[in-house]
Amino acid sequence: MAIAADALSRTKRAPRRGRAPRTKGSWVFSILNYAVFALFALICAYPFYYLIINSVSANDLSALGDVRFFPVGFHLSNYAQVFQLQGLTLATAVSVARTVLGTAGTVLVSAFLGFMFTQERMWGRAFWYRFTVITMYFSAGLIPVFLIIKGLGLTNNFWVYVIPYLVQPFNVILVKTFVESMPRSMQEAAEMDGANIIQVFFRVYLPNMTPILATVAIFSAVAQWNMFQDTLIYITDQSLYTLQYLLYMFINQANSLAQAAQNAAGGNLSAIANAATSQTATSIQMTVAVVVVLPIIFIYPLFQRFFVKGIMLGSVKG
């Protein structure tokens, strides 16, 4: 017992092996590293924070630019009145629908093309791959594209938000490189069991492509949600306006919309007379911007854990 106790005491006194003691230089580097990245994170986050605090602050102070770091005169009447603006609910539904359908279509098409471009048996594989990639560098221009869209009957059509964005060369390249890093033995084993090329794709490869597909989904969802130029060019039917296009219109017509929001107060003169809560051009812009930006900010963290792995595996072969 005495020998065991002495051995235990020596073990406790023995210095731990493994991590070497940190030097003064390493401590300084870590502190500076964290400080720089914290500053960079604050710089990136502050514009969103600025939008939020101005949308819930007194509108007269927000219009004067006096709200910079903390909310002043907190209230939520801006959101109550903005949600009453005509067309906002329908535009939100259109934006959600185009984001969901457009993202799903882009992910599926990118996955299938990326997989097929790795198949040596594909007819004209090299030609079709180069033909797809070259579209990253050359464009027909706005007028020819508009004529094509019009010729296909996609003007004033919801599917103009989905079909033209199905094939994204950058996403196809990412998926192709990712598939090339997967073991070919999976396909060979499936084909020995009698699976055809479609079954190999859907049953063998697609379930194992989650990281790169999540990365493609992030790219596509953010692009679809933020897009408004296609509405501006191809859509005149107000029932197909997207939320981003309404934001664009609201910013350009903020003064008249502020007056309309004040009139929508239902004749409550005391509410209209209250300069701290009555709508201004600035409050309209800030509030609608928050309404548009927040959904994509909340969705992004759900896919973020796949993002780094997907980018690394999809950009480096081998």
pLDDT exceeds 80 at position 264: no
Q: Answer whether residue 208 is part of any domain.
A: yes
Mean pLDDT of the chain: 76
Q: Mean of the pLDDT values across residues 28-39? A: 87
- In whole angstroms, give the CA distance from residue 258 to residue 269: 15
User: Structure tokens of 70?
Assistant: 């903390």
Q: Answer whether residue 254 is part of any domain.
A: yes
Residue 22 is given by DSSP the state P
- pLDDT at position 267: 47
CATH number at residue 265: 1.10.3720.10
Long-range contacts of 308-314 (CB under 8 A, 24+ apart): 309/211, 310/174, 310/178, 310/211, 310/212, 310/213, 310/214, 310/215, 310/216, 311/174, 311/215, 313/177, 313/178, 313/181, 313/211, 313/212, 314/174, 314/175, 314/177, 314/178, 314/211, 314/212, 314/215
Taking the model in full, what pTM does it have?
A: 0.71
Number of domains in the chain: 1
Question: Other C-beta atoms within 10 Å of 219: how many?
Answer: 18
Q: What angle do CA 49, 92, 220 make, to 5 degrees?
A: 75
220 contacts 174 by C-beta, under 8 angstroms: no
CA distances from 89 to 132, 289, 291 (A): 37, 15, 11
pLDDT in tens, 168-216: 888 888 888 888 888 888 878 888 888 788 888 888 888 888 888 888 8
Q: Answer whether residue 226 is part of any domain.
A: yes
Q: Answer whether residue 242 is part of any domain.
A: yes
User: Structure tokens of 47?
Assistant: 């514009």
Q: Answer whether residue 156 is part of any domain.
A: yes
Q: Answer whether residue 260 is part of any domain.
A: yes
Enclosing domain of residue 269: 86-315
Q: Answer whether residue 67 is part of any domain.
A: no
- 3-state helix, strand and coil shares in percent for the chain, rounded to the nearest 5: 70, 0, 30
- pLDDT at position 272: 41
